[in-house]
Amino acid sequence: MMGKEKRAGHHGAQYAPVWAAGAMSGTSFDGVDVAVLRTDGIEIADFGEVRSTAYSDADRAVLRAAMGAWPGEARADAAARVTEAAHIAAMVDLPPVEMLGFHGQTLAHDPVGGRTHQVGDGARLATALGVEVIWDFRSADMGMGGQGAPLAPFYHWACARWIGAKGPVAFLNLGGVGNTTWVDPTVAAPEMPGACVAFDTGPANAPIDDLMALRGLGSFDAGGALAAQGQIDMDVLETALQNPWFDVAPPKSLDRDAFAQVGAAVAHLSDADAVATLTAVSAGAVGRAVPHLPTCPKQVLVTGGGRLNLTLMAMLAEATAAEVLAVEDVGLDGDALEAQAFAYLAVRVARGLPTSAPSTTGVAAPVGGGRRSRPAGAALA
């Protein structure tokens, strides 16, 4: 599986592409996404296996109950055990890889307070899986004054180069929270000025998913079908989009439940009207983000679960005045992109390359995050 060729890195070093795996479990609690990627830590060389393992209802309940927990709380410890077991099960029979990038499960994120909390011990995964695990990607960034999020922008830069983009494009990830990356793939390295501008856009799927669950309608609005049947409450929408957070200049990031009040604001509405309104808030939040980008993108490439919500995608086109496409339309895999990002970042950590920069997280200078854990008795390369 390993390739022998080497390429010159942007720092002059020679890097051989390697196979790495990345794993991601987002705040929508769908499950564990795993993706294998071949990369030298700069360019994408090839794509490998992709898999997704859904959480059981019991595991999802443990994770939901732990939201907002900080280290030392019993509910956080329970979530850590669920996270570790689920990731080990998802990756136990992967094709041979040199390293694993493990994001863990975010329970709480407080960028203003300089705190973030992802559960899951990479050392336990390394021992169980017999391969080096690179994890705890956010702490170094936050220790240098960064927001610790978003972390996928450097990979978005690599994706823009892989698809052959000739100028700036915007990636939009719609998970529990939305985040966008404006990338210029003509800039030689992702940490260089002008290559990436990234920040959270606001609520995305979280308010919709939470309302669906609260009302016993399922775990998400499949295809945006329910939203398509409803009427948007313009008063709720306008009030939500007047939140001063949208005027804050990036970089900026959010906790999953930072806009929980939006869910409360639609409590009086019918199911369809409530979901339509929350969907409009998610799209409107992205519209409010566009003025913060260096240039208005002609193309917005959407990844994450939100790209499957046809009602949301139509609203996004209106809110951004751009061509809005699912990343599949340009040859990428929206189910795998976040997991691939952590495979890519793992290789960058192993090679001493930065994983975030002032324009992506607000960190003081480009910094490489990540802790490295190898199986017992194995030395770090």
* Cα separation, 163 vs 47, whole angstroms: 13
Which CATH number goes with the domain that contains 255?
3.30.420.40
Q: Reply yes or no on whether the pLDDT at 154 is more than 70.
A: yes
Length of the chain (residues): 381
| Residues 215, 67 within the same domain | no
**Residues 116 and 133 occupy one common structural domain:** yes
Tell me how many degrees the CA angle 247-278-251 measures, rounded to the nearest 5: 30
Q: 381 falls in which pLDDT band (50, 70, 90)?
A: low
Cis peptide before 251 (omega within 30 of 0): yes
Q: What is the DSSP string of 196-261?
A: EEEEEEEE-SHHHHHHHHHTTS-SS-GGGHHHHHS---HHHHHHHHT-GGGGSPSS----TTTTHH
Same domain for 168 and 298?
yes
Cis amide prior to 150 (ω within 30 degrees): yes
Residue 267, both tokens: 């409590």
Show Cβ contacts of residue 210 under 8 Å, excluding neighbours closer than 6 positions: 260, 263
* pLDDT score of 258: 84
Report the C-alpha gap between 147 and 252 in whole angstroms: 7
Q: Are 191 and 326 members of one domain?
A: yes
pLDDT in tens, 208-229: 999 999 999 998 999 999 999 9
- Of 85 and 5, the structure prediction assigns the larger pLDDT to 85
Domain assignment of residue 38, given as a range: 7-150+339-373
306/335 Cα distance (integer angstroms): 11
CA distance 220 to 269: 17
92 inside domain: yes
Residues 250 and 230 in one domain: yes
